[in-house]
Structure 1
Amino acid sequence: MFHQKKPYFGDMNILRSFAVFILAGLCEIGGGYLIWLWLKNDKPLWFGILGAVILAFYGVVATWQSAGFGRVYAAYGGIFILMALIWAWRIDGFKPDKYDVIGALIAIIGACIIIFTPRNK
């Protein structure tokens, strides 16, 4: 009888989209971090090799989004900013200040506008 119109968010729902963004972020930051440790902290070569494999997997994960390449990568940039700060805080002991937090929130809002705003086809 009554058919509710689903909100338009590309071809996938918001939770799945965020999950893919988070997985992509973990792959990019984690892979980059392993390479960083190998080159800057004298860790074994296998750190670098594993980091490269994880970074390559990041390239695959990003394709799981349904929006076009430009929008996905633009929106991911905002999410990456927040995730990089969280990684640095939790893994490296970096203490974000209020300007880091404000900047990350602005980036996340921008990312959400880019990827989730309904558009006419």
Structure 2
Amino acid sequence: MILRSLLLFLLAAVAEIGGAWLVWQGLREHRGWLWVGAGFIALGLYGIVATFQPDAHFGRILAAYGGIFVVGSIVWGMVMDGYRPDRWDLAGAALCLAGMGVIMYAPRG
């Protein structure tokens, strides 16, 4: 169940971060409206993927996803744009990921 949830978070991150990056490329880097449209589609897919999480609480899913989004954004920037995070970026990302784990996977009675 946790592995499935983590895979869904990963897929959601690719869709959301990739979608936002496509919109950025289309508008800020002047690659055109085809890139923007592809970004809109990817962002819509992100919303769909989130609904497959096993937990039924929307707020918990989106709050936990925030940690994945932070880490995924840094990784995306490194791979796609040559961004080099400093130790504070990495420390902040680790804190976000730890918070995500607590929010999503802490035992509840």
Q: Do both proteins adopt the same fold according to a TM-score greater than 0.5, normalized to the shorter chain? A: yes
1:85 aligns with: 74
Asked which structure has the greater RCO (Cα within 8 Å, sep 6+), the reply is 1
Instruction: Give the length in aligned residue pairs.
Output: 108
| Separation of aligned partners in 2, 1:52 and 1:80 | 17
Q: Give unmatched runs, 5+ long, in structure 1.
A: 1-12
Q: CA deviation at 1:66?
A: 1.7
1:28 and 2:16 matched: yes
| Larger proportion of helix | 2
Q: Give unmatched runs, 5+ long, in structure 2.
A: none
1:8 aligns with: none
1:76 and 2:40 matched: no
| Separation of aligned partners in 2, 1:64 and 1:22 | 12
| Separation of aligned partners in 1, 2:84 and 2:103 | 28
Q: CA deviation at 1:44?
A: 1.8
1:115 aligns with: 104
Q: CA deviation at 1:14?
A: 1.2
| Separation of aligned partners in 1, 2:11 and 2:92 | 22
Give the TM-score taking structure 1 as reference length: 0.87
| Separation of aligned partners in 2, 1:34 and 1:50 | 7
Q: CA deviation at 1:118?
A: 1.3
The structure having more radius of gyration, on CA atoms, is: 1
Q: Could you list the runs of 4 or more consecutive aligned residues of structure 1 that deviate by over 2 angstroms after TM superposition?
A: none
1:49 aligns with: 37
| Separation of aligned partners in 2, 1:53 and 1:28 | 10
